[in-house]
Amino acid sequence: MGKSKYLLLVAFAALCFAASPQKAPAQIAVQIGPPPECPYGYFDYPPYDCAPYGYYGPEWFPGGIFIGAGPWYRGRERFWGYVDNHYDRHDGWHGEYPHRGEHWDEHHRPGRVEHFRGNERRDGHGHSNLGERHEHGEHGGHPH
């Protein structure tokens, strides 16, 4: 009778294992909402703060309209545009940024930066030609 109790115990364990609920694959839905309303564009990494006048070069504003950045980028494929990363807080900027909903100043029209000196190229999706150290978004590197 020892063997039959053992077999019964093994059969019961197998039945419990087979009857246990299977894990379903996880599904995640992310809604990003509308792009930030900023007078001179916004950074291409979270929290998508408004960029100051002079950060983006003129190629980011064809026809005076910002082509977007991050999840709202709507520029051409394989685009790399110049930015002046001196205006990025990850690169030492301590000045003010415009607030969402602000409008551009008549003397500082989007895409018309006098004497613009870009020192970095970005693709609108958070990637930098300077490498991972300058990719501050979720998929990028670390701020320095």
Per-residue confidence (pLDDT) for residue 10, from 0 to 100: 63
Contacts of 46 (CB under 8 A, 6+ apart): 70, 137, 138
pTM of the model: 0.69
pLDDT above 50: residue 141? no
81 strand-pairing partners? 122
The highest-confidence range among 28-32, 63-67, 139-143, by mean pLDDT, is 63-67
Q: How far apart are CA 88 and CA 44, in angstroms?
A: 11
Q: How far apart are CA 50 and CA 60, in angstroms?
A: 14
pLDDT above 60: residue 20? no
Per-residue confidence (pLDDT) for residue 14, from 0 to 100: 61
Reference 78, options 127, 137, 131, 133; nearest CA is: 127
pLDDT above 50: residue 75? yes
Per-residue confidence (pLDDT) for residue 23, from 0 to 100: 61
Phi and psi, residue 132, nearest 5°? -60, -30
Q: What is the pLDDT of residues 26-36, one digit of tens each?
A: 667 667 899 99
Pick the range with the lowest mean pLDDT from 17-31, 50-64, 88-102: 17-31
Per-residue confidence (pLDDT) for residue 130, from 0 to 100: 87
Q: How many CA atoms lie within 13 A of 142 on its CB side?
A: 1
Q: How far apart are CA 42 and CA 82, in angstroms?
A: 14
Residue type, 111: G
pLDDT above 50: residue 139? no
